[in-house]
Each structure stands twice: as C-alpha cells, then as structure tokens.
Structure 1
Amino acid sequence: PQLPFRIPCKKRSKLTVAGELAKLGPLLCIHRKTFFFLFLKSFTSAVWVPVLVQQPNQLAWHHILQLGHRYTITGLSMSSLKKSGHRMFVTGVSSCLLPYCAEQVREQPLDSVWQGESTQSSSPEAAEQLSDSLQLGVEEERPGSTKESKIISYVGTVTKILNVQAGLFLLDNEVCLCLAYQQLLNSARGLRPGACVELIDVHLLQKPLVSFPFVVLGACLSSTVVLKSFSRLSTPYQPPASSGNLYLQLLFRYNLGMPLYLWMVSLLEMFEDRFSCFFGRCRLLLRSTHRNPGAAEKFLVPLMQAVVPDTEEARDIYNEILAKIHQCPLQK
C-alpha cells in the first residue's frame, strides 16, 4: 500500500480540537514514514473526526493514549485527500497533546471550520469542540448479496503462537487472531503466550477455510489492538521477519481476502515442512527479495496468478481507515 505523506495544506490559523478518544489506529510504517490516525468524538453526539499524527516527536502519543479519555490537541491544520475528498486534521511540529480542560473550550460548529469560515475562535487559544455537523465514522450497512463478516470486540489471552511470520496467534485455545492485515505492533514483542489482549472492531470470520480449525478474528486498519497485560510465563520471544516476509509480501501483492490468505499460509507451511531440510534454515527457504526470489516464492507465485483474479483491486488504505462506509479485505 502506498500513502502520499506530503499532503498540501493551505496556510491557515492553527486549530485546537478537543474530544473523547473514540478510536486509535495502528502505528504504520510505509516507505520509512511512520504515522497513525486517531479519532476524536464529540462530547454530545456520536460524530468522529480523524487526526493524522506523523511528526516523529509525537509518535510516543500512541503508547499513552487511552480509549474513552478526553484530550485536547493543539496546533492542527486541516487537509483533504484529492482522490476521495476525505477531510482530516493534521498535527504540526508545534502540536501538543493535553488533558481536556472544559474551561479552555469554546464550542463551534465543525462545518464552518472545514469550509474555512471560522473566525477568531479557530485560533489556537480556542478549542474546537466537535459537533454533529459532519457525519464521519458512522457505520452503515453496504448493500450486496454476499455475506459480510461481523465486527465485534473481544478480550482474550494468547495461548499459542500459530505462525508469527504470518501474524497468526491463538487466543483462549479456540480463536485465531490474524494481525497480518495491519503491521504487528512493536514487532509483536508483547504477544507471547500468557499475554492478555483487547480487540476492538475486529472482523469475525466463521470457518473462512474448510481445513482451518478455528474461528478467525481479523484486525484491519480500522481495528484497535490493545495489550492489556504482559505474559508472566517464561516463554521465548519469537520475532517476525523485519524484511523479506514472504507471507505479507504475497498478501499485499495480491490483496488477498482471509480464505485465500489462510490457504496460501497452509501451502507455505507444507512447503517448509517438506523442503526445509534441503535449505538448512527456514528463513533461506521463505526469504523474498525484489531481485532474488526464494524457492518458496518461485513455487507459489504461479499458483497465486492462476487462482487470484486479475481484476482484484489494489488495497486502498485511506478508505479502510477513513471511509464512512467501511471497506477492507476482511469484509467477506
């Protein structure tokens, strides 16, 4: 997935926005640029607005923000995406994250701010308390004959690592958590057996593959994964590959849904079991580079080209994170 990071903003007064943290997106690193989205909710309605955090000195906010808490963010600019028209607030170098203080907030309709009609109250000294004039973040059902996955929340304990390279973890000995569709938080350092995780807005997929024995909870870019407590067990840390991860490369290259992804994982695991003895180390077998594909990639790519339709659209991470009507590869 590609993300244009230099979003042009017109020179306007910096804004300050106050609201309740309704959703916290994952930390993403694309083309060596790290960023995340957070969503602030109005105190009086269910409306959310997105805030893009991309300044290096502000990435630590991701580790201290707590869902349901009220915050004030200063020094924000407004921006919109050319292709989709999605509007958002963007932090600047001088932006600060502060606890919410009601005495410093003056309410103003949000639509006037989006349209550039704000007056003196749009200055950094006056916080913009969100109103319900912009309908962002409200889920609606999409029409269609295909069955869509349910979006749920879940709290469970990691009991087994099924395949760390593929982002598959077993919760409570009965539910598979798939984190392949969003980058693993902190290289999965906290996701050891015994750790407790809270999953918010994840996709529930019942039997996505006949041969797969577990119900799957899939986290997309609109899902929130919170590590509630670290493991007290002396289980070793299994680091995922930092580069050349064939599972994830093929997932994003072909924009696979969950059934095809689990099928691909089973093929790679079978290939690894049968031929790893000839390569000495599994990483040599499953390694993948742009100019030097490994044996597993040479085996699997022709199969993927035969199975995956050519009309498969590229993954649109903007729509996945920001769209009013949710769209992602885990819906069906």
Structure 2
Amino acid sequence: LLHFELEWLESLFLFPSWSYIPQTDQSAAGYVEILVDPVPVSLPKERPYSIPVTFPASAEPLLTSRIPCKKRSKLTVAGELVRLGPLLCVRHKTFFFLFLKCFTSALWVPVLVQKPSQLVWHRSLRVGHRYTVTALSISSLKKSGQRMFVTSVSSCILPCCAEQVREQPLDSVWQGESTQSSSLETAEQLSDSLELGIEEERQGSTKESKIISYVGTVTKILNVQAGLFLLDNKVCLCLAYQQLLNSARGLRPGACVELIDVHLLQKPLVSFPFVVLGACLSSTIVLKSFSRLSTPYQPPASSGNLYLQLLFRYNLGVPLYLWLVSLLETFEERFSCFFGHHRLLFRSTHRNHGAAGKFLVPLLQAVVPDREEARDIYNEILAKIHRCPLQK
C-alpha cells in the first residue's frame, strides 16, 4: 500500500485495483501492490469529540528530570511527526521509534512502539502530519539510561485536529507517589545481539557527509543483496545500514522513492562511479509510487547474507563497504562456474562464510584489524547530536 489510513484498521474493504508481482525465482511467492485506495464497505468509526492531551513542550521535561508520578499513570501526547525511524527486528522482537515535535518550537519527544498489534502504524504515519498517541508510559534504556515514552497495550494513535484536542495540565496526572521507570528489555537485546561498530577515523582521508532529502526514481538494481539501488541513473541509494523488514518490496525499476534525512557521500570510493545516498537509523524511506514496468521482484536474502554479515562484523564505513561489494562481485564473476550455484559461493553461517567469505575474511582482518568502539544503535536514533557510521 502506498497510502494507508489509521481509520482503515479493523474495517472491511474492497480492493478495486491491484497487481501481483512475482519473484525472479518462480518457485517462491511474490507480493501484491495495491494501486488504488480500497473502498470501505461499512461506515467509518466516529472519533472522540474532545481528547485531553499534553504537548511535547510540556512532556519533554518528564524525560530529562526525575519528576514524581502516580503509579501506572498514562499520558496522551499530541504533536507533529518530525521523524519516523525504520522497523527493527532483534531476537524476533520488532519495534520502531517515532518522534513528535511541538507545534510552536523545535522540542521533540521519542515514542517507542513495540506491541505487535501496533506495528501496522508504521505504514500509515507520514512525516509532517500531526498525531495524538494515547496511554503512554515512561521507560528507560538499561545501559545508557536514556528515557522515552513507550506505548501500552491500550495505546492508540489518531490524527490530531485542533478542534478535537484540549491541553491537559500535567499536575492532574504526573504527581504524587514516586516510581522508577521500567527498564526497556529491547535495549539490552539490541546492543548485545548486533554489536555493530563505527568506522575508525583515518587522518587526511575522511570528510563529513551532508544530510539531505531527495526524491528519485529507481532505474536499476545494482546489487539487491548488498542493498544498493540506482536512482535517476546517477545516484546510488545504500540501504545496507537499515534493516529491510519488508524485503525491499516495491523497490523495482520504475518506482519513485522519497528519502528523508539521508547522508550524501560524494566519491566515497575512487573506483565507484556514483554519488551515494546512505540511509542510517535516523533516515526515512518512503515509497511514493509503484513501478509501471513489468520487472520481477528480487528479494534480498533474509538470512545468511554475506554482505551484511561482513559489514556489521567488521564495522565498515561506506568506502570499505563499497570496496567489499566490488570484491564479492568480482569473486562471483570469476569463480561461480566452479561452484555451480550462487548459494554454494555465498552461503554464510555464524561459523562458515562459504568460499567467498573464506577469501575475504583474511583481507578484512588485515584492513580492519580491530574494533575500537561498538556502534550505539539507540544513541544513533535518540541522541540530540546525530552520530552514525555514515557521517564520514
């Protein structure tokens, strides 16, 4: 779906126009692209007339100071969606962050969504639109202590209309008996399981990337397993530093995409012919229109992806990652005839990286002998001052 409304949840619809997109592997199932908005069968649900809310300017101090609060008290926050984080999956738990900004200032608050029934929100939220999120509690990361709002089972999200909300004083909710905020289990799991790292700085060879937004058309899939796509025949989109939980569905040649807060890297590698737009965990990728071309769907490997395993294991920045991709492509071109099957060449497990991995691991160990600092996933998403592997 290109367009999804929150009001459509738990309602019956007819789908007048859609296309089935097969995979390049005919034995595997494809997916369906909904070309026209569905038609409701029943009447839309009525919205609450007036909702008491707290705006980010009033809610933000709750995250930066230990303000006493009532036990089990919940908060409803309304604001403009200034940023939408990608879906992340760690140890079979899926979650994402959204950021609500005050209407009259630059203050924003983070909201973690991790309840399975609420993950569908990610498909309907649009940056720049106004929303109200109900029944929020406060939680914190175990290691860093960073605090955020977290949805509960009873939370819902609604479009924010000025005539349907009224500001609620914090004194009526957040006062009285003091409680410690619950620790967020997902945080420790994410840090322990990924153990990513940042690229080591090299004197005289690094340059700060710029953060920009861009709208373009996919003209070629450079390497789907490596997360590389060509836009407008001149710009390379790198999605390797994000998790593609929808398996890159919709990213076929001819599709239009909007990139929000991506890193612009000009000539990251001398031998690489394109400017690179890299998406980190603070970037948002929006599919604007489906392709009208009859191009099949090429899904990336869901497990055993050698490109991504080596990227994260050796904490590669963009220049080294593009060098790795070039080596793997050359290795496949030269030696695939001896192995007879792509999977035998690139098959990768925790202990066995396959033929290509056995060739590349010694090279990477020589180029990147050790890791100085682990990649802090949550700091990359939540910090006021942005820091990520794509900055240099």
TM-score by length of 2: 0.72
Which residue of 2 is the match for residue 177 of structure 1?
237
Which residue of 1 is the match for residue 100 of structure 2?
40
Which residue of 1 is the match for residue 297 of structure 2?
237
> Are the equivalent residues in 1 in contact too, given 2:79–2:102 (CA < 8 A)?
yes
Does 160-169 or 99-108 show the bigger shift? 99-108
1:169-318 to structure 2, matched below 5 A, reads 169-318=229-378
> Are the equivalent residues in 2 in contact too, given 1:18–1:105 (CA < 8 A)?
no
Return 5+ residue gaps in structure 2 as ranges: 1-68, 176-202
Change (3 A) 1:305 1:147: same
Match of 1:120 among 172, 175, 185: 172
Shift of 1:31: 1.2
Provide Cα deviations, 1:272-294, integer angstroms capped at 9, x if missing partner.
11111111111221110123331
Q: Which is greater in Rg?
A: 2
Shift of 1:10: 9.6
Please give the secondary structure, in 2, of the residue aligned with 1:68: coil
Which residue of 2 is the match for residue 17 of structure 1?
77
4+ residue stretches of structure 1 with deviation over 6 A? none
Identity level (%): 83
Provide Cα deviations, 1:95-117, integer angstroms capped at 9, x if missing partner.
10112143433155xxxxxxxxx
Give the aligned residue type for 2:127.
L
Shift of 1:81: 2.0
Give the aligned residue type for 1:120.
S
Match of 2:165 among 84, 99, 104: 104
> Are the equivalent residues in 2 in contact too, given 1:176–1:216 (CA < 8 A)?
yes
TM-score by length of 1: 0.85
Query: How many residues are treated as equivalent by the alignment?
Result: 295
1:124-143 to structure 2, matched below 5 A, reads none
Please give the secondary structure, in 1, of the residue aligned with 2:73: coil
Distance 2:342 2:114 in 1: 36
Are positions 1:51 and 2:103 aligned together? no
Change (3 A) 1:290 1:82: closer
Return 5+ residue gaps in structure 1 as ranges: 1-8, 109-117, 124-143
Match of 2:123 among 55, 63, 76: 63
> Are the equivalent residues in 2 in contact too, given 1:252–1:315 (CA < 8 A)?
no
Does 273-282 or 261-270 show the bigger shift? 273-282
> Are the equivalent residues in 1 in contact too, given 2:247–2:300 (CA < 8 A)?
yes
Give the aligned residue type for 2:273.
P
Give the aligned residue type for 1:234.
S
Give the aligned residue type for 2:155.
S
> Are the equivalent residues in 1 in contact too, given 2:214–2:258 (CA < 8 A)?
yes
Distance 1:157 1:38 in 2: 26
Which residue of 2 is the match for residue 132 of structure 1?
none
